[in-house]
Every structure is written in structure tokens, then in C-alpha cells.
């Protein structure tokens, strides 16, 4: 069982983030539990890379002095699996918002899907979604989007190392992506739909890896609390 000194000296915690939780909520929950367990008022806890509420999977948390390495972990490559639905788009590029447009899909074949995926491998330019935590003039884009503002955002250079089509079930595409820091999988899904002369949005996302860290070695929040309490 880890001691207070262990957590203050610095720990790397691998957490499997549940659906509908923000990364900030996970950090707050873990920090509060550690403080409660050791009867202390505060301890440093931070995460190394945000996951959207509608995504699940690997979240690296750092405690105490290990928080100094957060930037190092954030810079590592990320691995995701997920599902893209063809033929429709949403303003958020995922299921957070309702479908706003539908598109033809009769021309889309499995061979076209696989060939188009290959076009996204390498260094690409990508616009972050309007419904994202990116800041514009000091304000989060998602707040501006919810208030009805339309703003111009700059494209970013990101690197897609792998974009593998795992399964095609009519208009539902299962995929695996390995990519650099800063890559938005929602934007990738949106741009993928455009490249198919149609539309698309993300309907499921799971982060399975960050560098050498794998979600198979991560704990659920409940499992971490049980381990903390020595259960």
C-alpha cells in the first residue's frame, strides 16, 4: 500500500476514464480521495492530456513532484480506437450535438474507405473543432460555440502515424489511429467524411495508449479507491 510520502514524492496513476466524465472531474475525484484518505488539505494532482467527456480510456495522472513530468507525457504519441458514422455531420463533430446535415453515401465502397484512410497518414493540417477547449482571444472555443459565435481558427500541423480501418459495417467504420500530440480525432472523422465526398462524425472513442503506457494496465476510479484503501 502506498504512503502519503509516496504520493507527495510523485506517482504516475493510470486511470481508465469512464464515459461522460471530464478529465478535470477525474483529477478532482482522485485528489479528493487521496486528501481524505491521508487527512490532508491539499496535494498536487494533474493529468497529462485531456480526454473529451464522450471518450473513454487512458488518462495519465501525476501526483506530487511527478507533476513536473506532465509535459513530457503529453508530448508522447497517442493510440485510439473508435467508430465513425458516415453520411451525416454534427457541429461538434461527435455525439455532443445533434445531426445538422446529411450527405449521399451510395458511392462509398469499402475499397474507397480504405484508400481514403491512407491519404491521412503522415503530416496533415487540421482545424480544431469549434466545440473544443482550444482558446481564441482568451476564451474557450466551446463556450463561444454554445453562445452562437462563429470565429476563425487556425489550422495546425499534426502527424498521423497509423489510420487503420478495422471493420466496416454499412455506414459505421471501426478504426485505430496512432497520432501525435494535439491531434483531434473528431476533426479527423469530419475531414474523412469530406474526403469521401460525403459527411461523417465520431460516435465512439477510446484512448488505448500514450507512449509505452497502455489502458490494459489502468484502473477504474473505483478500483483505484479500493487500492488506496487497501481493499
DSSP 164-209: EEEEEETTEEEEEEEE-TT--HHHHHHHHHHHTTS-EEEEEEEEEE
Catalytic residue among 52, 71, 197, 212, which? 52
Beta-sheet strands, E only, within 25-121 = 45-47, 55-63, 78-86, 88-89, 101-102
Question: Which residues, in sequence order, are bridge partners of residue 111?
Answer: none
94 is catalytic: no
CA-based R_g, the chain, Å? 19
For residue 93, is it left (φ>0), alpha (ψ between -120 and 50) or beta?
left
Give the length of the chain.
231
Question: Which residues, in sequence order, are bridge partners of residue 201?
Answer: 85
Any residues with CB less than 8 A from the CB of 73 and at least 6 apart, and which?
12, 48, 49, 60, 62, 210, 211, 213
Q: Distance (Å, rounded) from C-alpha 59 to C-alpha 14?
A: 6
The H or E element spanning position 226 is helix 221-228
Which residue numbers are catalytic? 52
Amino acid at each position: 500500500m502506498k504512503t502519503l510520502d509516496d504520493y507527495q514524492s510523485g506517482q504516475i496513476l493510470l486511470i481508465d476514464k469512464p464515459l461522460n466524465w471530464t478529465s478535470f472531474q477525474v483529477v478532482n475525484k482522485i485528489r479528493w480521495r487521496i486528501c481524505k484518505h491521508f487527512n490532508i488539505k491539499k496535494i498536487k494532482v494533474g493529468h497529462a492530456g485531456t480526454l473529451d467527456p464522450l471518450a473513454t480510456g487512458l488518462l495519465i495522472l501525476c501526483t506530487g513532484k511527478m507533476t513536473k513530468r506532465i509535459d513530457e507525457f503529453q508530448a508522447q504519441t497517442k493510440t485510439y480506437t473508435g467508430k465513425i458514422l458516415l453520411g451525416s455531420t454534427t457541429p461538434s463533430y461527435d455525439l455532443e450535438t445533434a445531426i445538422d446535415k446529411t450527405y449521399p453515401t451510395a458511392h462509398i465502397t469499402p475499397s474507397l474507405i480504405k484508400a481514403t484512410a491512407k491519404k491521412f497518414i503522415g503530416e496533415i493540417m487540421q482545424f480544431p473543432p469549434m466545440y473544443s477547449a482550444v482558446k481564441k482571444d482568451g476564451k474557450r472555443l466551446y463556450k463561444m460555440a454554445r453562445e452562437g459565435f462563429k470565429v476563425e481558427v487556425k489550422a495546425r500541423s499534426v502527424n498521423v502515424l497509423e489510420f487503420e480501418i478495422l471493420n466496416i459495417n454499412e455506414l459505421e467504420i471501426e478504426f485505430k489511429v496512432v497520432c501525435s500530440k494535439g491531434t483531434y480525432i473528431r476533426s479527423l472523422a469530419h475531414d474523412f467524411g469530406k474526403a469521401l465526398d460525403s459527411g461523417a462524425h465520431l460516435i465512439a472513442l477510446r484512448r488505448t495508449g500514450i507512449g509505452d503506457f497502455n489502458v490494459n494496465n489502468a484502473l477504474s476510479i473505483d478500483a483505484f479507491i479500493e487500492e488506496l484503501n487497501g481493499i
